[in-house]
């Protein structure tokens, strides 16, 4: 499966190009939001199927195989969590991103407990949604690997060492953790919230640009002098460890 190309945005959202990328089921009762989301995703080469009620979503979700699903928590007829639970009972394994207007951590926990794989609070940036969908589609495959390689970087997870072109780089434990997260997800847009949630395990958005400072510090250690940075900033979205040329 090839992920949607998020680095080169399609300029015109109303482009007549028929999407050929991953299929996504969007269950959302607010038609206007759903339309925006669908157009955005289609411009990113997703094939979008939209349903407005929980029961319709369940029917379609059972009848077809989707690569990923986006389910709103509050839905008419059948609420989002029950929908996900039913799908999981019927052996539907596609990853699910839960959307919610509720921000409490409890709601997040219950969303994940019901079988959701990620949780996004409204309002959200389209980049955030796209990055998270991509993350769900490209879940780290083999976590048992002991050596990670990305471009000139090599990470030894047993020795806890990092080398660039064979040259040892000294990293603090938190920098090591951050780099490991990036190296497991090369060429993938990672938002600040994703980093905060996954690397530091924080569920709130700090007022200061903490993540940028951390990335900046890491960048100075891993980048070669003069060359372009390995960790690129994606405007309006987050960061990416660029490996492919």
Partner 1 sequence: MFLNELFRTATFRLTLAVVAAMIGSAAFQFFLGYSQATVFEARRSDTLLYREAALLQTESQEDLERKVRDRATDDLRVIMNVTTLFDHDHLYIVGDLHDWPEGLVADGHVHEISLQNTDHSPGSPGVLRMLAVSVRGGRFLVLGRSWHMRSELRLMMRHSLLVSIVPTVLFALMTGIVLSHRALARVKDMHEAIDRIMEGDLHERLPAGRQRDDLQRLAGSVNRMLDRLERLMDEIRDVGNDIAHDLRTPLTRVRARLDRARSAGHSAEALRNVIARAIDDLDQSFAVITALLRIGEIENGRRRVGFGTVDLDGLATDIIDLYEPIAESKGIVLRHTPGHGVMQVLGDRDLLIEVLANLVDNAMKFTPEGGHVTIRTYEDADGVSLQVEDTGIGIPPQERKAVTGRFYRSDKSRHVPGSGLGLSLVLAIVQLHNAVLRIGAARRDPDLPGAVFTICFVAASHALPPPDEAA
> At its nearest, how many Å lie between partner 1 and the CB of residue 227?
23
For residue 38, what are the β-bridge partners? Answer: none
Where on the phi/psi map is residue 45: left (φ > 0), alpha (ψ -120 to 50), or beta?
left
Q: Which of 48, 231, 216, 52 is nearest to 153 (CA)?
A: 231
CA distances from 36 to 13, 41, 95, 154, 233 (A): 10, 9, 21, 41, 25
> At its nearest, how many Å lie between partner 1 and the CB of residue 237?
11
> At its nearest, how many Å lie between partner 1 and the CB of residue 62?
33
Instruction: Choose between 6 and 86: whose C-beta lies nearer to partner 1.
Output: 6
Instruction: Choose between 83 and 178: whose C-beta lies nearer to partner 1.
Output: 178
Contact yes or no for 25/70 (Cβ under 8 A): yes
Instruction: Choose between 62 and 101: whose C-beta lies nearer to partner 1.
Output: 101
> At its nearest, how many Å lie between partner 1 and the CB of residue 209?
8
> At its nearest, how many Å lie between partner 1 and the CB of residue 137?
25
Instruction: Choose between 168 and 235: whose C-beta lies nearer to partner 1.
Output: 235
For residue 70, what are the β-bridge partners? Answer: 26, 97
Contact yes or no for 132/97 (Cβ under 8 A): yes
Instruction: Choose between 32 and 235: whose C-beta lies nearer to partner 1.
Output: 235
Indicate the helix (H) or strand (E) that contains 140: none
Q: What gap in Å lies between CA 14 and CA 2, rounded to an integer?
A: 23
Where along the sequence are the contacts to partner 1 (CB under 8 A)?
Answer: 103-106, 109, 121, 123, 125, 174, 200, 202-210, 213-214, 216-217, 235-236
Instruction: Choose between 121 and 232: whose C-beta lies nearer to partner 1.
Output: 121
> At its nearest, how many Å lie between partner 1 and the CB of residue 140?
23
> At its nearest, how many Å lie between partner 1 and the CB of residue 167?
23
Please give the order of strands across the beta sheet that includes 167-169: 147-150, 153-156, 161-164, 167-169
Q: What gap in Å lies between CA 130 and CA 37, rounded to an integer?
A: 10
Instruction: Choose between 106 and 167: whose C-beta lies nearer to partner 1.
Output: 106
Q: Which residues contact 64 (CB under 8 A, 6 or more apart)?
A: 23, 25, 49
Q: What Rg value do the Cα atoms of the chain yield, rounded?
A: 19
């Amino acid at each position: 499966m090839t992920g949607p190309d998020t680095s080169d945005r399609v300029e015109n959202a109303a482009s007549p190009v028929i999407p050929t990328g991953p299929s996504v089921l969007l269950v959302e009762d607010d038609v206007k939001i759903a339309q925006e989301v669908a157009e955005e995703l289609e411009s990113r080469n997703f094939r979008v199927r939209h349903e407005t009620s929980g029961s319709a979503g369940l029917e379609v979700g059972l009848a077809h195989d989707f690569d990923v699903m986006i389910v709103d928590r509050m839905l008419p007829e059948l609420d989002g969590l029950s929908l996900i639970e039913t799908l999981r009972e019927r052996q539907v394994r596609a990853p699910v991103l839960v959307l919610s207007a509720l921000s409490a951590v409890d709601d997040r926990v219950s969303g994940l407990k019901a079988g959701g794989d990620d949780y996004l609070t409204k309002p959200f940036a389209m980049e955030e949604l796209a990055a998270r969908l991509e993350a769900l589609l490209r879940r780290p495959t083999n976590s048992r690997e002991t050596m990670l390689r990305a471009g000139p970087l090599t990470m030894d997870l047993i020795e806890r060492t990092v080398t660039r072109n064979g040259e040892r780089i000294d990293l603090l434990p938190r920098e090591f953790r951050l780099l490991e997260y990036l190296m497991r997800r090369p060429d993938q847009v990672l938002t600040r919230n994703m980093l905060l949630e996954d690397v530091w395990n924080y569920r709130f958005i700090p007022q200061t640009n903490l993540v940028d400072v951390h990335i900046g510090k890491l960048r100075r250690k891993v980048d070669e002098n003069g060359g372009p940075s390995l960790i690129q900033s994606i405007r309006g979205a987050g960061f990416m460890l660029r490996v492919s040329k």
